[in-house]
Amino acid sequence: MFFPLATRAQAVTLKNCGYSFENIEKLTGIKKKQLQYIISEAKKRGYNPEVSPTLKDKYFHDGRPDRPTKLSKEQIEALIAVSKPFEGVPRKTNAVLAQEFGVSARTIHPLATGSEDQSEEEGDVDMTTTSSTADQTTFGDSLLDQLQAAVTGEEYATPNYPPATFNYTPLSQQ
């Protein structure tokens, strides 16, 4: 799975600060083997936490930014729409979607699973609070809540975040 540069940098920083692989996976979603690979690649590109803990963009690989995409924006939107499961109907497999769109399953995977379509709120982890804070909803907490609901037989209700309405009053009118 591909993670944004900020998430990879965050995971490397957490590891450098002494966090366990298990805790880093809970916070960022990056598994141990992938984090080990990210760290080793960063070191090959000059990262040395003993000399300087400063992280630079050049330490992290961002795929092939100049490579053209295989699908147009319209095709990607159609793929995302088709790949969402409907209630009671299983989602199409990546192989079926790949055949329908004329590309490989590896091209379909990041688009159909939504890893590249995450908003900042869904993909980023707020490191200023702990996961035990009552009003903090992170991916890990949400997943744990879903698992707990499944075990107890309760229905899981998705938190209403962010709020649907905002009360905005400009400072000049107060």
pTM: 0.38
Same domain, 99 and 135: no
Q: Does the residue 24 lie in any domain?
A: yes
Asked if residue 31 and residue 9 are part of one domain, the reply reads: yes
Residue range of the domain that includes 54: 5-59
Any domain includes 158: no
Q: Is residue 157 part of a domain?
A: no
Clarify whether residues 49 and 92 are in a common domain.
Answer: no
Tokens, residue 151: 């075990």
Q: Verify that 104 and 146 share a domain, yes or no.
A: no
pLDDT at position 11 is 93
160 located within any domain: no
Identify the pLDDT of residue 134. Answer: 39
Written as one string, the DSSP assignment of the chain is: ----HHHHHHHHHHHHTT--HHHHHHHH---HHHHHHHHHHHHHTT--TTT-----GGGS----TTSPPSS-HHHHHHHHHHHSPBTTBPPPPHHHHHHHHTS-HHHHHHHHTTTTS--HHHH---TTS-TT-TT---HHHHHHHHHHHHHHTPPP-----S-S------GGG-
- Residues 10 and 46 occupy one common structural domain: yes
- If one counts the domains in the chain, the total is 3
Residue 76 confidence (pLDDT): 83
Last residue of a domain, one of 34, 59, 84: 59
12 with 41, same domain?
yes
Same domain for 96 and 138, yes or no, is no
pLDDT tens for the chain, 174 residues: list them. Answer: 678 888 999 999 999 999 999 999 999 999 999 999 999 989 988 899 889 888 888 887 665 666 677 788 888 888 888 877 778 787 788 888 888 888 888 887 777 765 444 433 343 333 333 444 334 444 445 656 666 666 676 765 655 554 444 455 555 554
pLDDT at 105: 82
Beta bridge partners of 14: none
What's the Rg (C-alpha) of the chain?
Answer: 20
Tell me: do 12 and 52 sit in the same domain.
yes
Residue 47 domain flag: yes
Q: Are residues 101 and 134 in the same domain?
A: no
Q: Are residues 42 and 15 in the same domain?
A: yes
Is residue 42 assigned to a domain? yes
